[in-house]
Amino acid sequence: MTNDLIHATAAELAAKIHSGEVSSVEVTQAHLDRIAETDGKVNAFLHVDTEGALAQARTVDEAVKAGETVGALAGVPLALKDVMTTEGVPTTVGSKILEGWLPPYDATVTRKLKEAGVVILGKTNMDEFAMGSSTENSAYGPTHNPWDLDRIPGGSGGGSSAALAAYQAPLAIGTDTGGSIRQPGAVTGTVGVKPTYGGVSRYGLVAFSSSLDQAGPCARTVLDAALLHEVIAGYDHMDSTSINAPVPPVVAAAREGLSGDLSGLRIGVVTQFQGEGYQPGVLRSFQAAVSQLKELGAEIADVSCPSFDYALPAYYLIAPSECSSNLARFDAMRYGLRVGDDGTRSTEEVMSLTREAGFGPEVKRRIMIGTYALSSGYYDAYYGSAQKVRTLITQDFAKAFENFDVLISPTTPTTAFKIGERANDPIAMYKADLCTIPANLAGTPAMSVPSGLSDEDGLPVGLQIMAPALQDHRMYRVAAAYEAARGAFGGPSL
Amino acid sequence: MTSLVELMDYDEVIEKYDPVLGLEVHVELHTNTKMFCGCANEFGGEPNTHTCPTCLGLPGSLPVVNGKAVESAIRIGLALNCEIAEWCRFARKNYFYPDMPKNFQTSQYDEPIAFNGWLDVTLDDGEVIRVEIERAHMEEDTGKSLHVGGATGRIHGAEHSLLDYNRAGVPLIEIVTKMIPGTKERAPEVARAYVTALRDLLKALDVSDVRMDQGSLRCDANVSLSPKTTGALGTRTETKNVNSLRSVERAVRFEMTRQAAVLESGGEVIQETRHFDESSGSTSSGRKKETAEDYRYFPEPDLVPIAPSREWVEELRGTLPELPWERRARIQKEWNLTDEVLRDLVNANALDLIEATVVAGAKPDEARSWWVSYLAQQANTRGVELTDLPITPAQVARVIELVNTGALTNKLAREAVNGVLEGEGSPDEVVEKRGLKVVSDDSALEKAVDEALAAQPDVAQKIRDGKVQAAGAIVGAVMKATKGQADAARVREIVLARCS
At B148 the pLDDT is 86
SS3 per residue for A436-478: CHHHHHHCCCEEEEEEEECCCCCCEEEEEEECCCCCHHHHHHH
| Residue B101 to residue A383, Cβ atoms within 8 A | no
Q: Could you tell me which residues are beta bridge partners of residue B27? A: B173, B217
Does A313 fall in a domain? no
Distance CA A404, CA A397 (A): 10
At B1 the pLDDT is 41
**Secondary structure letter of residue B323 according to DSSP:** -
Does A370 fall in a domain? no
- CB contacts of B58 in chain A (<8 Å) are 85, 103-105, 334-335
Q: Domains of chain B, with CATH numbers?
A: 10-313 (no CATH), 322-434 (no CATH), 442-498 (1.10.10.410)
Is B286 in a helix, a strand, or coil? strand
At B499 the pLDDT is 83
| Long-range CB contacts (within 8 A, 24+) of B376-384 | B376/B348, B376/B350, B378/B417, B378/B418, B378/B421, B382/B421
> Does A2 have pLDDT greater than 80?
no
A95 is known as an active-site residue: no
Distance from CA of B55 to the nearest CA of A (A): 12
**Secondary structure letter of residue B373 according to DSSP:** I
- CB contacts of B306 in chain A (<8 Å) are none
A379 touches chain B (CB under 8 A): yes
At A383 the pLDDT is 95
Q: What is the pLDDT of residues A343-365, one digit of tens each?
A: 889 889 999 999 999 999 999 99
Measured over the CA atoms of residue A193, residue A194, residue A200 and residue A201, the dihedral's sign is positive
**Contact by Cβ (8 Å): A416, A143:** no
Q: Which residue has the higher pLDDT, A6 or B348?
A: A6
Q: What is the pLDDT of residues A150-206, one digit of tens each?
A: 999 999 999 999 999 999 999 999 999 999 999 999 999 999 999 999 999 999 999
Q: What is the pLDDT of residues A125-157, one digit of tens each?
A: 999 999 999 999 999 999 999 999 999 999 999
- CB contacts of A130 in chain B (<8 Å) are none
A113 touches chain B (CB under 8 A): no
pTM listed for this prediction: 0.89
The dihedral over CA atoms of A84, A86, A92, A98, expressed in degrees to the nearest 10, equals 120
Q: How far is CA A111 from CA A107, A162, B65, in A?
A: 6, 24, 23
- CB contacts of A128 in chain B (<8 Å) are none
Residue B480 neighbours by CB under 8 Å, 6+ apart: none
| Residue A238 to residue B64, Cβ atoms within 8 A | yes
**Secondary structure letter of residue B4 according to DSSP:** G
Interface A:B, Cβ pairs < 8 A: 100
Distance CA A117, CA A19 (A): 15
**Contact by Cβ (8 Å): B372, B343:** no
Q: Could you tell me which residues are beta bridge partners of residue A218? A: A172, A192
Distance CA A354, CA A358 (A): 6
> Does A489 have pLDDT greater than 90?
yes
Q: Which of A411, A432, A431 is nearest to A479 (CA)?
A: A411
pLDDT > 90 fraction of chain A, expressed in percent and rounded: 94
Residue A212 neighbours by CB under 8 Å, 6+ apart: A177, A178, A197, A315, A318, A319, A322, A440, A441
Q: What is the pLDDT of residues A219-278, one digit of tens each?
A: 999 999 999 999 999 999 999 999 999 999 999 999 999 988 999 999 999 999 988 889
Distance CA B330, CA B312 (A): 28
- CB contacts of A375 in chain B (<8 Å) are 294, 296
Distance CA B355, CA B377 (A): 19
At B444 the pLDDT is 80
A81 is known as an active-site residue: yes
> Does A427 have pLDDT greater than 60?
yes
The number of distinct structural domains making up chain A is 1
Does A342 fall in a domain? no
**Contact by Cβ (8 Å): B350, B335:** no
Residue A410 neighbours by CB under 8 Å, 6+ apart: A186, A273, A274, A278, A282, A283, A285, A286, A435, A461, A462, A463, A464
Does A463 fall in a domain? yes
Confidence tier at A1 by pLDDT (50, 70, 90)? low
Strand B83-84 relative to strand B114-122, pairing: antiparallel
Does A283 fall in a domain? yes
Residue of A nearest to B105 (CA): A325
Could you list the residue range(s) of the whole structural domain that residue A79 is in?
2-272+274-305+402-486
Chain B contact probe: residue of A89, A205, A243, A331 with most B CBs at under 10 A: A331
Q: Which of A179, A267, A263 is nearest to A216 (CA)?
A: A179
Does A288 fall in a domain? yes
Q: Average pLDDT for residues A392-404, to the nearest whole number?
A: 98
Chain A contact probe: residue of B33, B35, B103 with most A CBs at under 10 A: B103
| Residue B60 to residue A206, Cβ atoms within 8 A | yes
Distance from CA of A333 to the nearest CA of B (A): 7
Distance from CA of A376 to the nearest CA of B (A): 6
Enclosing H/E stretch for B148: strand B144-148
CATH code for the domain in which residue A195 is found? 3.90.1300.10
List chain B pLDDT tens, one digit each, 500 residues: 445 678 999 999 999 999 999 999 999 999 999 999 999 999 889 999 999 999 999 999 999 999 999 999 999 999 999 999 999 999 999 999 999 999 999 999 999 999 999 999 989 888 999 999 999 999 999 999 988 887 766 677 778 889 999 999 999 999 999 999 999 999 999 999 999 999 999 999 999 999 998 899 999 999 999 999 999 999 999 999 898 999 999 999 999 999 999 999 999 999 999 999 989 999 998 866 555 679 999 999 999 999 999 999 999 999 999 998 889 889 999 999 998 888 888 878 898 899 999 999 999 999 999 999 999 999 999 988 898 899 999 999 999 999 998 888 888 899 999 999 999 999 999 998 988 887 767 788 888 888 888 888 888 888 888 888 888 888 888 888 887 778 888 888 888 888 87
Residue of B nearest to A129 (CA): B59
Angle at the Cα of A290 from the Cα atoms of A284 and A294, rounded to 5 degrees: 145
Cis bond upstream, residue A156 (ω within 30) = yes
A451 is known as an active-site residue: no
Residue of B nearest to A93 (CA): B59
Chain B contact probe: residue of A346, A374, A385 with most B CBs at under 10 A: A374
A65 touches chain B (CB under 8 A): no
| Residue B296 to residue A325, Cβ atoms within 8 A | yes
Distance CA B449, CA B475 (A): 8
At B487 the pLDDT is 82
Q: What is the pLDDT of residues A263-310, one digit of tens each?
A: 999 999 999 998 888 999 999 999 999 999 999 999 999 999 999 999
Distance CA A73, CA A217 (A): 13
Does A341 fall in a domain? no
- CB contacts of B92 in chain A (<8 Å) are 325
DSSP strands (E only) in B14-76: 17-28
Residues 85-104 of A with CB under 8 A from B: 85, 91, 93, 98, 101, 103-104
Of the candidates A16, A23, A24, A81, the residue annotated as catalytic is: A81
| Residue B298 to residue A240, Cβ atoms within 8 A | no
Does A9 fall in a domain? yes
**Contact by Cβ (8 Å): A303, A482:** no
Distance from CA of B288 to the nearest CA of A (A): 16
- Give me the helix-helix angle, B351-359 and B339-347, nearest 10°: 100
